[in-house]
Amino acid sequence: MSVDVTTLKSGINVVTHAMPHLETASLGVWVASGSRDERADENGISHLLEHMAFKGTRRRTARQIAEEIEAVGGDLNAATSAETTAYYAHVLKADVPLALDVIADILSEPAFERDELSREQNVIIQEIGAVADTPDDLIFEHLQITAFPDQPLGRSILGTANTVRSFDDVKLRAYLARNYCAPDIVVGAAGAVEHRAVVAEVERHFGRFNGPAGPLPQPASFGGGTYVEERELEQVHIALALPGVAQRDPTLYSLQVFSNVLGGGMSSRLFQEARERRGLCYSIYSFHVPYTDVGMFGLYAGTDAADVAELMRLVVDEIADCAQTISEPEVARAKAQMKTGLLMALESSSARVEQLARQMIAWGRPIPLEELVAKVEAVTVESARAAAHALIDRGKLATAVLGLSSGLADAAAIAETLTRRAA
């Protein structure tokens, strides 16, 4: 694989993967700053900044930003997470310089005009309202808050209506200056790209980003607890979380294998038992989210109020049983799924550049595919069981339940028996 990395004098890292069989390129800027880098009175400012980047610069209007990219058949987008913010484009190979110019422009010369800011604040408040009206989205907001209470990692990425309304151009520029610093920036490109040409464009357009790295975010601590909200809904929505492991934890892949076996697909234990054999739910799955310093293992299910108790007893039993009895065929199947996911990233320039950028942020280097596959292959039945036991034995649980009152108390009470078993 032709993966190249250059660190500029400013500290910006440029990573590329040339994929000669493609005629298009995916590229972007990934900043190691997200919602957990916000102060309490800044909740939601990372996401608002992402939105405002497209609302005009000193050189381009909002319409011109959209038209310049779409006039060449490309697309431009962005995303905010807890630990990163990304601005990315997909264009023909001849238009890579244009895309880098536009992305550099929206980050280094944002206009933050008052009228545009007011309109976009209203758009985000509508987005907050949309989440509040979507229970299978809202439940994860409450789970995050319950798992990481009174800390940045536990706050909504969107912020609140009050915080979003409080931001002005002065606050936006201060946040941008504090967190968008060269050592925290990765410029990535994959597809029909040439490394030296990309480096030259980055040196040309990203000169305004300099200075030392931004401040480190507040360390996260898994708290746990229970959140219950009664609502007139057709289903009871249930989400559980246990303290997982961080991105660099050596047990990460073993825990991911356990998660896949438990609830990672149609062949998983929870899907087969809860949906296929008992018909207790339409959607049920487990997941693991690793952050820089902590992790969160989670599980979601939606069910009828009358089936809550049976489903929750099944969930608790399956988690405990899987930790004891996960088998060689199950581990092999989960490892095959993980390796396929890694290889599929090589077939998409957008997936590949995101993979590389995140590796640069987490590890400071691109991780060779062979190294990743070796980490997956190293997982054994014993290591998967050990990771599962460690997960349960940490003794902390976060539970969020949303729905009809008749099922809420049962769901929360039964969930708590999982960690009591460990104790």
Q: Tens of pLDDT along 270-312?
A: 999 999 999 999 999 999 999 999 999 999 999 998 999 999 9
The whole-number average pLDDT for the span 179-195 is 97
Confidence of residue 412 (pLDDT cuts 50, 70, 90): confident
CATH 3.30.830.10, applies to 225-422 = yes
> Catalytic residue at 50?
yes
pLDDT of residue 421: 59
Tell whether the model's pLDDT for residue 320 goes beyond 70.
yes
The whole-number average pLDDT for the span 131-153 is 96
Confidence of residue 419 (pLDDT cuts 50, 70, 90): confident
pLDDT of residue 408: 75
Tell whether the model's pLDDT for residue 1 goes beyond 90.
no
Phi, psi of 367 (to 5 degrees): -95, 120
134 CB burial (10 A radius; 0-12, 13-18, 19+): exposed
pLDDT of residue 210: 82
How many CB atoms sit inside 10 A of residue 326's CB? 22
pLDDT of residue 77: 97
The CATH 3.30.830.10 portion of the chain extends over 2-205, 225-422
Tell whether the model's pLDDT for residue 106 goes beyond 90.
yes
Measuring CA to CA, which residue among 329, 330, 333, 306 is closest to residue 318?
330
Q: Give the global pTM.
A: 0.93
Structure tokens at 161: 């209506």
Confidence of residue 225 (pLDDT cuts 50, 70, 90): very high
Distance separating the N- and C-terminal Cα atoms of the chain: 48
Confidence of residue 420 (pLDDT cuts 50, 70, 90): low
Lowest average pLDDT, out of 96-110, 118-132, 148-162, 395-409, goes to 395-409
Which of 38, 42, 50, 201 is catalytic? The answer is: 50
Tell whether the model's pLDDT for residue 411 goes beyond 80.
no
CATH fold of 2-205 reads: Cytochrome Bc1 Complex; Chain A, domain 1 (3.30.830)
Structure tokens at 177: 């200056």
The residues near 343 (Cβ < 8 Å, ≥ 6 apart) are: 369
Mean pLDDT score of the chain: 94
Residue 276 to residues 133, 267, 268, Cα–Cα distance (Å): 29, 10, 11
